[in-house]
A and B are shown apart, each in its own frame.
Chain A
Amino acid sequence: MPYLPTSQAYLEQSALLLEAYPNGTRITTKYNFPSSQKPKPTEESTTPTAPIASLTIKTYNPTSGICLKYRTNKAAEVGRLITSLGKLAGGANVAALGLGNAAAAPVAQAGGDVEMTDAPEEGTGSAPAAKTEGNKGGKGKKKGGKGKR
Chain B
Amino acid sequence: MAPHLGHEEFFSSLSDLLSKTSQKARGSVFLTQKPLIDSTASLENVSSSSRPSILIRATDGNTNAPNPKNNKVGKKTVSKVKLSTIVAPEDLEAFYTRYAEVCKAGMTGLKKRDRKKGKAKAKGGAKAAKA
Q: Which residues does A use to contact B, with CB under 8 Å?
A: 22-33, 35, 37, 50-55, 72-76, 78-79, 82-83, 85-87, 89-91
Pair B33/A27 contact, Cβ less than 8 Å: yes
Residues in chain B near residue A27, CB distance under 8 A: 32-34
- Secondary structure at the A interface, as helix, strand, loop or mixed, is mixed
Most buried by B among A23, A51, A53: A53
Selected contact of B32 from candidates A26, A53, A74, A90, CB within 8 Å: A26
B71: interface (CB < 8 Å): no
Q: Which parts of B107-128 form the interface with A (CB within 8 Å)?
A: 107-113
Selected contact of A75 from candidates B18, B32, B97, B108, CB within 8 Å: B108
Bound Cα distance A50, B22 (Å): 10
- How many A-B pairs have beta carbons closer than 8 Å: the answer is 122
Contact with A along B1-42 (1 / 0, CB 8 A): 000000000000000001001101111111111110100000
Selected contact of B110 from candidates A22, A37, A75, A91, CB within 8 Å: A75
Q: List 18 A-B contacts (CB under 8 A).
A: A27-B32, A29-B31, A29-B33, A30-B30, A52-B109, A52-B111, A53-B107, A73-B110, A74-B111, A74-B113, A75-B107, A75-B112, A78-B100, A86-B99, A87-B96, A89-B54, A90-B92, A91-B51
Residues in chain B near residue A35, CB distance under 8 A: 26
Bound Cα distance A83, B21 (Å): 22
Known: A76-B113, A82-B100. A28 touches B32 (CB 8 A): yes
- Secondary structure at the B interface, as helix, strand, loop or mixed, is mixed
Bound Cα distance A124, B101 (Å): 42
The list of the 7 closest CB pairs from A to B, nearest first, reads: A86-B96, A53-B109, A32-B28, A26-B34, A82-B100, A75-B110, A29-B31
Residues in chain A near residue B22, CB distance under 8 A: 53
Having A30-B28, A31-B29, one finds 7 other A-B pairs with CB under 8 Å, namely: A31-B103, A55-B107, A73-B111, A74-B113, A82-B100, A83-B100, A90-B93
B104: interface (CB < 8 Å): yes
Known: A27-B33, A86-B96. A33 touches B107 (CB 8 A): no
